[in-house]
Chain A
Amino acid sequence: MERIPILKMGRFLLVSIQVDMDDRTAMTLQDDLTAQIVKHRATGVLIDISSLDVVDSFIGRMLANTAAMARILDADTVVVGMQPSVAITLVELGLSLKGVRSALNVERGMDLLRSIARTDAYESEQLDADHED
């Protein structure tokens, strides 16, 4: 069984899925990821699926569930690098990947995560300002 490596990039974690996933690999990944999010107080997770030429409903559910888990731990998830034929097939399959943001590549993904963080910080400032009135 393969253990998927998780890279730390500042306040973000990067996971690159390159192998076929089964139940055990998926569960192990979710265990590892949630542990790392807490350990490093990560605010964002990037899941790179550019190597996957097939994404079926099992993988789709895994991605959505992983994002949901991360959200509960206060981290946003961005899926990057989806191949066009995979995207077309997922749409046909009816998988919407709700709750999962996407970006073209890791770099864009990080930009997206940073802009979400800025928005959060801004909104938080606004709330503070409101309270001071």
Chain B
Amino acid sequence: MPESSLATLATLLTKHRQELLTAWSQLQEQDLSIRNNLLKPGELDQQTREFLDAFVKALAADSSGDVMRSESWAPVRELVASISRSRARQGFTPSETATFVFSLKQPLFNMLKQSLSADQLAEQIWATSALLDDIGLYAAETYQKGREEIISRQQQELMELSTPVVQLWEGVLALPLIGTLDSARTQVVMESLLQAIVDTGSSIAIIDITGVPVVDTLVAQHLLKTVAAARLMGADCIISGIRPQIAQTIVHLGVEINDVPTKATLADAFAIALTRMGLAVVRRVRRTGAAE
């Protein structure tokens, strides 16, 4: 990007700033009239003003036009990223968000037409257009990332919600796993279990896999790693609900499950847990009501 063109642009912008701001604002209002109810009143004005200010400042400080890497352009990048993210949250489309930047072209070109001669104009428009293209694309990119962050956060929350840890008794936790386990979900689940062990001060955790139809090597390894981690922390695990099919798979896969206690049902595991803790369940005899 020719340095002199952008330096010229910087000078012109500083000179005609107010008119440009007005022209751009008006243009945006026309385009966004349908979507304006998504933005808070005055929000568009503020974003427009802030962007123009940052844009002019950056251009004056660094006329190389290296928008993506130059330190002087960092404030513009951050501003665009934050506008993108908020537009993503507000439900705008990526195009609408990038248009915020592209819409500056028209008033900018008008200003250039009025201030420059014909031969300067072509080069200037090219340089300016390329600059705004870079910024607009950056807006679209950060919009995308904003969406991805939202989606991944929702996925995380969903995973955590669907794997509750249950306290069966003081010191005894149960983790009933249901459905197919993939690597990501298993990890989330295991981390929740370990945290629950700390939070409740439990020394025994029963991992019940009755509701898990398939166990592959990766899942089996995660399970064993969790058992090992719990042991390092001072809690013991019992795995319950292993169906015949899964027992066969485990042996065929060569997974070393030997030193982890296993029980057929959650109930059996709970009984073992109570015994280990020196507790017993006792039947109370009902008083007949006869006088003492």
Contact = CB atoms under 8 A, between A and B. Distances in A.
Are A and B in direct contact (Cβ within 8 Å)? Answer: yes
B233 A87 contact: yes
B225 interface: yes
A103 interface: yes
Interface string A97-114: 100011111001100000
B261 interface: no
Contacts of B201: 104-105, 108
B232 interface: yes
A109 B229 CA distance: 17
A84 B194 contact: yes
Nearest to A96: B228
Interface string B210-233: 000000000000000100111111
Nearest to B201: A104
B157 interface: no
A115 B127 CA distance: 80
A90 interface: yes
Interface in B190-209: 190-191, 194-195, 197-198, 201-203
Interface in A51-66: none
B225 A84 contact: no
A84 B191 contact: yes
- Chain B's interface size range is 10 to 19
Given A87-B230, A87-B233, A104 B198 contact: yes
B58 interface: no
A37 interface: no
Contacts of A79: 234
Given A84-B191, A84-B195, A88-B191, A104 B233 contact: yes
Contacts of A101: 234
- Chain A's interface size range is 20 to 34
B235 interface: yes
Nearest to B199: A84
B229 A84 contact: yes
Interface in A66-103: 78-80, 82-85, 87-88, 90-92, 96-97, 101-103
A88 B235 contact: no
Nearest to A82: B233
Nearest to A84: B194
Contacts of B233: 82, 84, 87, 102, 104
A91 B223 CA distance: 12
Contacts of A85: 191
B228 A108 contact: no
Contacts of B191: 84-85, 88
A124 B195 CA distance: 39
Contact of B234 (A88, A92, A108): A108
Contact of A87 (B202, B203, B232): B232
B232 A97 contact: yes
A80 B203 CA distance: 12
B234 A82 contact: yes
A87 B197 CA distance: 12
B207 to A, nearest CB: 15
Which 10 pairs from chain A and chain B are nearest by CB?
Answer: A84-B194, A87-B229, A103-B234, A102-B234, A87-B232, A104-B234, A91-B228, A82-B233, A87-B233, A91-B229
Given A87-B230, A87-B232, 17 more contacts: A79-B234, A82-B233, A82-B234, A84-B191, A87-B229, A88-B194, A88-B225, A90-B229, A90-B232, A91-B232, A92-B225, A96-B228, A103-B234, A104-B197, A104-B203, A104-B233, A105-B201
27 contacts: A80-B234, A82-B233, A82-B234, A83-B198, A84-B191, A84-B195, A84-B229, A85-B191, A87-B229, A87-B232, A87-B233, A88-B190, A88-B191, A88-B194, A88-B229, A91-B228, A91-B232, A92-B225, A96-B228, A97-B232, A102-B231, A102-B233, A104-B197, A104-B201, A104-B235, A105-B201, A108-B234
